[in-house]
Chain A
Amino acid sequence: MTSTFLPDGRTGPDLAPPPPAADQARGRRRRRTLNLLTAVGFQLPALVLFIGLVLLPMLFALYASVFRWGGFGMPTDYTGADNFTRLFQDPVFLGDLWRCLLLVLLSLALQLPFALAMAVLLNQRLRGRAVYRMLFFAPYVLSEAITGVLFSMVFAPDDGLADHVLGAIGLAGLGGEWFADPSTVMATLFLVMTWKYFGFHMMLYLAGLQSIPAELTEAALIDGAGPWQRFRNVTLPLLAPTLRISVFLSVIGSVQLFDLVWVVTQGGPDHHSETLAVTMFQYGFKRYQVGYASAISVVMFGICLVFSLAYQRFVLRRDLEGATTTMRGGGA
């Protein structure tokens, strides 16, 4: 059955009996097939779950986004790109995009540098640094729901901790509506996000800093480099892979922000803190415009995809060899 590649009726001294080389090749092929079956067998349960509950839903969102559809039965009312043209005329959605960009920029400009500074500080021999580490990282372990409720109480107008503290130090004028005022809601949310997430990035940096050999910093010290020069020319370049990952996670995190906003403001006041995911939720689950909501999902997907691919292509390439999308085999 394995001789299909032999022309019919050709028998010659060089072909029969089958040379041992062909026999070996056949055995190797059978072993390879067996190997493949075993390997795929091990993957199968994970693959089924992943395709069924992650990939198919994502593809279905893509499909549903070109229909006007309320979410019951199968979508039939095909509208082409209508949902998307409507999206890009929707001030709430355009606001979402702007707020998404704002959060990304704020995170990159303020949150991550702050996390880096704290990591460098805690990497020194410092009294009680284990305690600080525990303390800064603890908020990351609390759920967004708990964090959200906690800070909606801290920033409650008049009665909250924030207003009382400001009042006590004579700055009562600065207190106010916090989450209820369109002009301050994003800043206050960002403050809460920083409280919650900066410890996570700090931990990443600390792990990165610890992998930098002390000899390098010492050598720079001997060469007469000051603290800033040592940081700028030794620490920072060696920390670059960690920084690149942390930037990546921070951007993807900003795009999908939902829990915190939903718990604290539900997108209010008057859509001023709404994110893409919140708008999607509003349309999909509250107003039953599932086709339109799917279009928002697709935009989110698109943003993540373009960003991920570009980032991998241009920034992460060196760090991820053999880890994700590089097709290199690596050692087995």
Chain B
Amino acid sequence: MAVPLLYAVLSGFKSTDQLSRNPVGLPAPWNPGNYTGILGSGDFWRLVGNSTLIAVATTVLVVALSALAAFSFARFAFRGREVLFTVFTMGLMFPFAVAALPLFLLLRSLGLLDNPLGVILPQAAFGLPMTIIILRAFFRQIPGELEEAATLDGCGPFGFFWRVLLPMARPALGTVSVLAIVTSWNNFFLPLLVFTDNTWWTLPIGVQQFQGQYSADYARVFAYLVLAMVPALAFYSVAERQLVGGLTAGATKG
């Protein structure tokens, strides 16, 4: 399981020449030049910055909109509620690939190609179903007495949502946020469609392009790969519990 990862890390410390003579052993000598070279260039950091910005913006948007919608699904009884909820949950069943082509045309006509919004808005839209389902389940568990108490104290629906529900739902919000960040960070298809020039490229696109560009320089590609893995794995080691919790909650709920 870990062998390919270790292989990549070690290979990054070799020169390509060394790699072809000594493909599997330890590097001798250890040669950090590939790593430092990539870290020293602004390109890599720009990709990290782009990925971060897009992931954070997507997450804020999808969590905010989902929380509002989930609140109304969980705490209001109104006509057509279940129909509306079904419409959202249908989104879970359909792959992004189905909508990719017309979505691209839509973004083109809106002038959102080569614009981070062209990735952020669709990502948020496709993230809504899962986020709403998880949050609705959580909001439902909050006892109705709290709502009554808040109403007696003069809270309107939004006041209750903002001052009581959201602070109480912090763990659930954390879980869906981690989920949204990871999904956005790893997205490949949409940035591939939307970003034709490299200004806004994200890390997954950068990795693929780097391999194409330096296909003969194996050791350098390995170093790039390893560095590209670091943010995701670091984030995972911090947020593992939330991520796993979110996936299992989402998977068993819908």
Identify the A interface with B (CB < 8 A).
32, 35-36, 38-43, 45-47, 49-50, 52-58, 60-61, 64, 71, 134-139, 141-146, 148-154, 156, 159, 161, 164-165, 168, 195, 200, 203-204, 207-208, 241-242, 245-246, 249, 252, 255-256, 258-259, 262-263, 276-277, 280-281, 284-285, 290, 293-294, 297-298, 300-301, 304-305, 308, 319-320, 323-325, 327-332
Partner of A332, one of B65, B75, B204, B211: B75
Measured CB to CB, the closest approach of chain B to A100, in angstroms, equals: 12
Partner of A159, one of B193, B218, B248: B218
Do the beta carbons of A200 and B97 come within 8 Å of each other? Answer: no
In the assembled complex, which residues on chain B have CB atoms less than 8 Å from the CB atom of A53?
99, 103, 106, 121-122, 125-126
Do the beta carbons of A300 and B237 come within 8 Å of each other? Answer: no
Do the beta carbons of B102 and A259 come within 8 Å of each other? Answer: no
Partner of A143, one of B79, B99, B132, B232: B232
Interface residues of B in 77-100 (CB under 8 A from A): 77-79, 81-89, 91-100
Interface residues of B in 182-232 (CB under 8 A from A): 182, 185-189, 192-193, 203-205, 207-208, 211, 218, 221-222, 225, 228-229, 232
**How many A-B contacts at CB < 8 Å in the complex?**
269
Measured CB to CB, the closest approach of chain B to A215, in angstroms, equals: 22
Contact with A along B114-144 (1 / 0, CB 8 A): 0000000110111011001100000010000
Given A53-B103, A203-B244, A280-B97, the answer on whether A145 and B188 have CB atoms closer than 8 Å is: yes
Do the beta carbons of A46 and B66 come within 8 Å of each other? Answer: yes
B166 at interface, CB cutoff 8 A: no
In the assembled complex, which residues on chain A have CB atoms less than 8 Å from the CB atom of B150?
none
- Listed stretches B1-9, B26-34, B37-45, B169-177; interface member: B1-9
Number of B positions contacting A (CB below 8 A) = 96
B149 at interface, CB cutoff 8 A: no
In the assembled complex, which residues on chain B have CB atoms less than 8 Å from the CB atom of A149?
207-208, 211, 221, 225
Do the beta carbons of B225 and A146 come within 8 Å of each other? Answer: yes
Do the beta carbons of A143 and B78 come within 8 Å of each other? Answer: no
